[in-house]
């Protein structure tokens, strides 16, 4: 199975900060990479698919980039509602796998 | 509007069987792969697998193959996740989610709210 890693595992930031989260795949996955946001007590929500395409309704302060094995999720100006855990997921090979998550808190 | 409505929380004893459901609406149920994701208490997301409701073709993660069964009832737009014999380690939140496309190689575009399964003697 393809192993997904994320860094950092957690970070502390302030409203207005630019935040970057990295996701790495153990083998090339082209652009078959999605990012999800999960707030405590809630189901995950899709943010980005195809490594860089914003899901409908997701604010433009979120962006994704990368292909192959290295990917990034960037939040250009952190808002209070963005404090959450972020997961990457590859859907290139079965079994699809998630990264361990990055918790963004104050 | 796409909706995935999951069945309510369950409390079971080890060795008991269980079937939880995920009722879909707002899209053509048979045309999109629907999957299951486990989240153990305080842990991350684990991809369990997917099912294609049109013909019940399945893809299981090796970690869950043989431990659970996916099924789907096209007549009522509902997907199911089933255990024959629960273990305490099955205690978790289980989410259903529908993929974006019909290839089987897609992200999960929409998610249910989850079903909490607690297994305790």
User: In this model, does residue A53 exceed pLDDT 90?
Assistant: yes
Flag whether residue B112 sits within 8 Å of chain A, measured between CB atoms.
yes
Length of chain B: 121
The answer to whether the CB atoms of A95 and B114 lie below 8 A apart is: no
Contacting residues of B for A101, CB less than 8 Å apart: 44-45
Predicted confidence at residue A89, as pLDDT, reads 98
Flag whether residue A55 sits within 8 Å of chain B, measured between CB atoms.
yes
Which of A1, A43, A87 has the CB atom closest to B95's CB atom? A43
Residue B32 burial class via C-beta count within 10 angstroms: exposed 0-12, middle 13-18, buried 19 and up: buried
User: What is the CA B53 to chain-centroid distance, rounded?
Assistant: 12
Task: Give me A32's structure tokens.
Answer: 């078959």
Task: Give me A69's structure tokens.
Answer: 């094995």
Contacting residues of B for A99, CB less than 8 Å apart: 44
> For B76-117, what is each residue's pLDDT tens digit?
999 999 999 999 999 999 999 999 988 999 999 999 999 999
């Amino acid at each position: 199975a393809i192993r997904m890693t994320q860094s950092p595992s957690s970070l502390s930031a302030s409203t207005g900060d630019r935040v970057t989260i990295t996701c790495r795949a153990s083998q090339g996955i082209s652009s078959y990479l999605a990012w999800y946001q999960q707030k405590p007590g809630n189901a995950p929500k899709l943010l980005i698919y195809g490594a860089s395409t914003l899901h409908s309704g997701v604010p433009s302060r979120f962006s994704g980039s990368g292909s192959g094995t290295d990917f990034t999720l960037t939040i250009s100006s952190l808002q209070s509602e963005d404090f959450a855990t972020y997961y990457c997921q590859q859907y290139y090979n079965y079994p699809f796998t998630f990264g361990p998550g990055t918790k963004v808190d104050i | 509007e796409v909706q995935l409505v999951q069945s309510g929380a369950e409390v079971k004893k080890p060795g008991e069987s269980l079937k939880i459901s995920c009722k879909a609406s707002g899209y053509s149920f048979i045309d999109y792969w629907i999957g299951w994701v486990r989240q153990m208490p305080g842990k991350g997301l684990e991809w369990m697998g997917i099912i294609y409701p049109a013909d019940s073709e399945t893809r299981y993660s090796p970690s869950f193959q043989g431990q659970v069964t996916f099924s789907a009832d096209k007549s009522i737009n509902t997907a199911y996740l089933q255990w024959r014999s629960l273990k305490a380690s099955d205690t978790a939140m289980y989410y259903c989610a529908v993929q974006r496309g019909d290839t089987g190689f897609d992200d999960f575009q929409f998610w249910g709210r989850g079903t909490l399964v607690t297994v305790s003697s």
